[in-house]
Structure 1
Amino acid sequence: MLQIEGWKRVLIWTTCAIGLLFALPNGFYSKVETYNDAKDAGTVAMGWPSFLPSGLVNLGLDLRGGAHLLGEVKLAEVYTTRLEGFWPEVRNVLREERSTVGAIRQQDGGEGELRVRIGNPEAIDHAMKIVRTLARPVSSLSGGLTDDIVVSSVGDNLIVTLSEAEKLATDDRTMAQSLEIIRRRVDEAGTREPTIQRQGTERVLIQVPGLGSAQELKDLIGTPALLTFQTVVGQTSNSSGTAGIGNELVQSAENETLYYVLERAPVVTGEDLTDAQPSFDQNGQPAVNFRFNTSGARKFGQYTTDHIGEPFAIVLDNQVISAPTIQSAITGGSGIITGNFDVTESTRLSTLLRAGSLPASLEFLEERTVGPELGQDSIDAGKIACMVGFAAVLIFMAMSYGTFGIFANIALIINVGLIFGLLSMIGATLTLPGIAGIVLTIGMAVDANVLIFERIREELKTAKGPARAIELGYEKALSAIIDANITTFLTAAILFFMGAGPVKGFAITLGLGIITSVFTAIFVTRIMVVIWFEWRKPKTLEV
């Protein structure tokens, strides 16, 4: 019999109502956006009822305008930094065997290697064995475990490099850390829904809608903001001087003719920071207050306790911004950074320090600024395309199938609302290809209804009665509908997982459109037909 249980009717209409409710804020985009901004800022949010959903479909770079960058992370720098930090461990274990290996001294090596000369060349094999005890296991591509370092020798020089498995693991960690830090910096600046994705092995795609220029974005995320606290060995005014093995020559930020000789291995780094806030020093000049985590506070406190009366350098992005003398032990885990910067610079510095330092430098290969006017043109063109396609489908269905076509048109309107409701619920970003996906969905949405209505026409010719014809029409068209939509959905899934950027946007709207189309065709139009049939009780059907 042609009937639908009461609980199914309630479930179908409830699903439609919830989907349309979540899509509602997009009809009042500016008002809801202002409400959300005020809510995020912690101020009084007005202009939109708080009991209604306030999720919006985020507009992509090509619709809203903004900045686009493609950057390459210099992964090789991390290898060198990693091995420089490994030197103290190597030095300590070899010192314990000094009677056998002799004097040890760090040498200048090639990029990505740590080179140590030992005083007794005959003990080089013993020294290699000792250093290998510092190796840690790491998973290899074959699924087994291998050491994270490779120890070799050339004459009286012991050479330590990272293994290939460790380099691959380091690359993954570095890229994940870079993506997270870039995301933090962009979020700290208060921008909306950025797109930050890894591309290939060492590239990062960054798109920030609503930002004024690509240069502004570069200034925000391109600065390494690498903060270190290092031991001062000496000072010089000669930039071409040699710092010595294990040391480095760093220019003063306040005096271009002054250079500091610093120990390369830092006492504490910016990774140990937990907070940084703009403030003012005792002279009323802009400064930055900082606080260490437990580990950083312990190391900083121990160092300042052991080196009272000695200078230490605060180094930011390879420039000494301050080199104060330690007056007393600093055990509270907090301090202040002073320098020649204004309020804007101190605010920006604190933002960068809170977000963390990039593990490696970032080289920008491509940059674009998309103006909001171009984005508005895309929106207007998308609206026109949607309305033209929508109107053509509505007219065709009404003229071809009469009352049943009107039911299909109502379901199509609900379908588009459900698409926007789902996009709002998952926080998706709508791009120009995404609009193309919606336009394609509008055209495809009535396919299922066409199959059903044509099948009902065929069943009416067997004179089984209108109720039975409708029932058989939905039953026998179901397999064709599912087959057609599953293949299209699989194509959308492949586009999503294999594609990037705009292709993903198209795949998302196409995939969601398929789900909502099947739902509205199989359930929504059917419940409308059943309600109409129960009300009119027609003896014949005009499909």
Structure 2
Amino acid sequence: MLEYPRWKFILAALILVLSTLYALPNLYKQDAAVQITANRGSVVDAALRDRVAGLLDAAGIPYKSVAEEGGNLLVRLASDDQLRAAQLLRSEFEGGYTVAQNLASTVPRWLELIGARPMLLGLDLQGGVHFLLQVDQKAALEKRETAYAEQIRAVLREQRIGAQEVLVRPNDILVRLSRAEDLSRAMARVAADAPELTLQLLSGSAGPGFTAALPPTAVQALLTETINQNAAILRNRINALGVAEPVVQRQGDSRIVVQLPGVQDTALAKRVIGATATLEYRAALLTGADAIEAERTGRIPPEGRLYYMRERAPDGSRIPVVLAKRVIASGDQLVAATSITDPETGTPGVSVTLNASAGQRMFEFTSQNVGKPMAVVYIERTPEVRIVNGEEVRSTRVTEEIISLATIRGVFSRQFQTTGLESPAEAQQLALLLRSGALAAPMEFVEERIIGPSLGAENIERGVKTIVASFLIVLVFFLVYYRMFGLVTNLALLLNLLMLVAIMSIMGATITLPGLAAIALTVGLSVDANVLINERIREELRAGNTPLNSIVVGYEKASGTIFDANITTLLAGVALFVFGTGPIKGFAIALIIGILTSMYTAVSVSRGIVTLIYGGRRKLAGLAI
């Protein structure tokens, strides 16, 4: 008799049920949708929902539903009406709300509760967004020169050398000293502290002083480092967004290409990609009536600068505060940042951890200023595009506001919390930007394209037709050539495909056109394994072995050959996954999973089905093979 352990039957049945459940979400198509997100000061409520529905009705645009989902207002439409609805709503709600095209899931709630979700689709299947960004290398150079200027000022203060000015110019830094006798000592100390700078004495009647400049090789290295750093930071931000298989690559000397599969909300993508948000911690010099008087008269202390609170006064006016120009710590000195909710006040915030040097400065400042106020300044730089006289004008909007002004109650250093943010969503986004780091230089969007899902739908349809056609051909061939064992093989192949789709869905893997090719390839590998088994059984029958014994020997001898044949392909798939990027990785994932599932279904599942059919027969005259 054929033997097959009962636990293997139970395992196969369990795998069949789970594979069916977790592959099921892939049958539900996404709805074309328009997503409306509230900007600061706006809300998503029933009034907004009714207004949106009224606008769509008046324009004669049919819609499936208008409902609040995930804190946003989601309008589900037919794909042909998506662009028209987005343009209508964008023109109506510009400023107060962000309107973007999106794709909305239609998977039933009960499937979502067990963690079932559809496979992620690549840019070639689902569409998405394509950005081409220009890195502002001039700003990067100015930023580095400004940092060197601050470093020179600090060196001169430490050495008690008087300086009339330390000025950043287009190609160098001008340093004028108060006394000529301090010149040699100043240049020696600056050269020791910043050896990469080239120092030159001022000539003629320019007075005692010198210039400091980066040599051309250092400038070129800086520009290369800037674009590489921006690309790395963009990858971190996009990975934190959860976009599957993004493409972030350098193009030329100053551009970066970003492709985000499945993302239709270009507004969110641009905010996260292009925005530079950070925090600065500064001492408060004047608050209350003193700050209001300083604003009114314009008499700001030379070491101070005027800022405004995010919160407004009861009459709606802005609240001024004069802060020190000197920064105690800034966002680029953060080691970690996590969004939190203050347990005492319930307000959202960010828990931050500074690096060692910034932590030491914070410790020294708080030790000397207990009982005095310290402000947290939120700085955000957002790229903007305006149409002026029919032409695009690109600019960057800088927002600087005080989100927290609190009295220092005790001494702290590296770890503390910053509260005062408007919403948990803002806290999460700020934590994300702080974790991923500040961009080394600003970037502007040179090119922006939304790749619609229509081409992807055609690709999917062709890919599915290819797989279905190959399956049908294989199924018919096996039924005709191997008869009953052909039916067993077909059942194993179907379970193989079901398992492959289910596992890729659970993993959140991305399927692309190469991924569809990998699935078709694994079908071929699975066919190959089943052919080996069936032919082994036929050889044993021709050798005069009994039918039941031929089945046993055929599976045992073929299993080793199947393993050896697939292990080399599996290693090739692992190499593709480790060293490949984008679509190549998608191909490798589908190939690796397909090989593992095909070996299991061909060797174990098909044997279990054969055991169910022939295992109970003590006397078997022949096999339908």
State TM-score, norm by structure 1.
0.67
Answering whether residue 624 of structure 2 is matched by residue 542 of structure 1, we say yes
Answering whether residue 464 of structure 2 is matched by residue 464 of structure 1, we say no
State how far apart, in whole Å, the 1-side matches of 2:260 and 2:115 are: 27
Which residue of 2 is the match for residue 141 of structure 1?
Answer: none
Report how far residue 530 of structure 1 moved.
2.2
Give the residue type in structure 1 aligned to 2:249.
Q
Give the residue type in structure 2 aligned to 1:25.
P
State how far apart, in whole Å, the 1-side matches of 2:548 and 2:424 are: 72
Give the residue type in structure 2 aligned to 1:60.
G
Which residue of 1 is the match for residue 235 of structure 2?
Answer: 179
Give the residue type in structure 2 aligned to 1:106.
V
Indicate the SS of the match to 1:541: coil
Which residue of 1 is the match for residue 612 of structure 2?
Answer: 531
Where do 1:54-453 residues align within 5 Å? 54-71=116-133, 81=143, 84-85=146-147, 87-98=149-160, 103=163, 105-108=165-168, 120-123=182-185, 126-128=188-190, 131=193, 150=196, 153-155=199-201, 156-157=210-211, 174-183=230-239, 187=241, 193-199=243-249, 203=256, 205-211=258-264, 217-218=269-270, 221-225=273-277, 316-317=380-381, 355-356=432-433, 358-359=438-439, 360-364=441-445, 367-453=448-534
Asked if structure 2 preserves the Cα contact closer than 8 Å seen for 1:93 and 1:130, the reply is: no
Report how far residue 426 of structure 1 moved.
0.7
Change (3 A) 1:313 1:356: closer
State how far apart, in whole Å, the 2-side matches of 1:269 and 1:225 are: 11
Which residue of 2 is the match for residue 282 of structure 1?
Answer: none
Change (3 A) 1:422 1:330: same
Asked if structure 2 preserves the Cα contact closer than 8 Å seen for 1:193 and 1:208, the reply is: yes
Asked if structure 2 preserves the Cα contact closer than 8 Å seen for 1:21 and 1:53, the reply is: no
Correspondence for 2:576 among 495, 503, 509? 495
Report how far residue 513 of structure 1 moved.
1.0
1:281-303 CA-partner distances (Å, limit 9, x unpaired): xxxxxxxx98896879979x98x
Asked if structure 2 preserves the Cα contact closer than 8 Å seen for 1:84 and 1:265, the reply is: no
1:221-270 CA-partner distances (Å, limit 9, x unpaired): 334456779999xxxxxxxxxxxxx999xxxxxxxxxxxxx999767656
Asked if structure 1 preserves the Cα contact closer than 8 Å seen for 2:163 and 2:175, the reply is: no
State how far apart, in whole Å, the 1-side matches of 2:350 and 2:616 are: 73
State how far apart, in whole Å, the 2-side matches of 1:495 and 1:439 are: 17
Asked if structure 1 preserves the Cα contact closer than 8 Å seen for 2:16 and 2:495, the reply is: yes
State how far apart, in whole Å, the 2-side matches of 1:247 and 1:78 are: 25
State how far apart, in whole Å, the 2-side matches of 1:225 and 1:292 are: 15
State how far apart, in whole Å, the 1-side matches of 2:611 and 2:166 are: 85
State how far apart, in whole Å, the 1-side matches of 2:608 and 2:68 are: 42
Report how far residue 393 of structure 1 moved.
1.0
Correspondence for 1:513 among 579, 591, 594? 594
Indicate the SS of the match to 2:259: strand
Report how far residue 219 of structure 1 moved.
6.0
State how far apart, in whole Å, the 2-side matches of 1:97 and 1:401 are: 92
Change (3 A) 1:150 1:425: same
1:375-408 CA-partner distances (Å, limit 9, x unpaired): 2222222222222111111111111101111001
Report how far residue 2 of structure 1 moved.
4.2
Which residue of 2 is the match for residue 24 of structure 1?
Answer: 24
Report how far residue 463 of structure 1 moved.
0.7
Structure 2 gap segments, 5+ residues each: 34-63, 74-106, 202-209, 286-302, 306-322, 342-347, 382-395, 410-416
State how far apart, in whole Å, the 2-side matches of 1:520 and 1:274 are: 45
Report how far residue 410 of structure 1 moved.
0.3
Change (3 A) 1:167 1:52: same
Residue-pair matches, total? 467
Asked if structure 1 preserves the Cα contact closer than 8 Å seen for 2:340 and 2:351, the reply is: no
Asked if structure 2 preserves the Cα contact closer than 8 Å seen for 1:25 and 1:53, the reply is: no
Change (3 A) 1:125 1:514: same
Over the residues paired in the alignment, what is the CA RMSD in angstroms?
5.3
1:147-195 CA-partner distances (Å, limit 9, x unpaired): xx746544455567879999998877654433333455xx4xxxx7454
Asked if structure 2 preserves the Cα contact closer than 8 Å seen for 1:58 and 1:427, the reply is: yes
Change (3 A) 1:15 1:293: closer
Which region of structure 1 is more displaced relative to structure 2, 530-539 or 390-399? 530-539
1:398-454 CA-partner distances (Å, limit 9, x unpaired): 111011110010001100110011111111122232222222222332110001111
Change (3 A) 1:205 1:436: same
Give the residue type in structure 2 aligned to 1:178.
L
Change (3 A) 1:528 1:222: same
State how far apart, in whole Å, the 2-side matches of 1:478 and 1:388 are: 28
Identity rate of aligned residues, in percent?
30
Asked if structure 2 preserves the Cα contact closer than 8 Å seen for 1:434 and 1:506, the reply is: yes
State how far apart, in whole Å, the 2-side matches of 1:481 and 1:323 are: 66
Indicate the SS of the match to 1:55: coil
Change (3 A) 1:336 1:534: closer
Indicate the SS of the match to 2:116: coil
1:321-375 CA-partner distances (Å, limit 9, x unpaired): 6799x9x9776997989xxxxx9xx999999656537413235566432222222
Change (3 A) 1:520 1:378: same
Change (3 A) 1:292 1:433: closer
Indicate the SS of the match to 1:67: strand
State how far apart, in whole Å, the 2-side matches of 1:520 and 1:370 are: 38
Which residue of 1 is the match for residue 42 of structure 2?
Answer: none
State how far apart, in whole Å, the 2-side matches of 1:381 and 1:476 are: 38
Report how far residue 52 of structure 1 moved.
3.7
Indicate the SS of the match to 1:3: coil
Which region of structure 1 is more displaced relative to structure 2, 364-373 or 158-167? 158-167
Which residue of 2 is the match for residue 522 of structure 1?
Answer: 603
Indicate the SS of the match to 1:457: helix
Higher percent of residues as strand = 2
Which region of structure 1 is more displaced relative to structure 2, 495-504 or 418-427? 495-504
Change (3 A) 1:105 1:64: same
Give the residue type in structure 2 aligned to 1:493.
V
Asked if structure 2 preserves the Cα contact closer than 8 Å seen for 1:67 and 1:207, the reply is: yes
Asked if structure 2 preserves the Cα contact closer than 8 Å seen for 1:66 and 1:372, the reply is: yes
Asked if structure 2 preserves the Cα contact closer than 8 Å seen for 1:229 and 1:315, the reply is: no
1:124-155 CA-partner distances (Å, limit 9, x unpaired): 674157526xxxxxxxxxxxxxxxx7465444
Which region of structure 1 is more displaced relative to structure 2, 430-439 or 13-22? 13-22
1:41-91 CA-partner distances (Å, limit 9, x unpaired): 699x97426764423212233222321224465678556535634544543
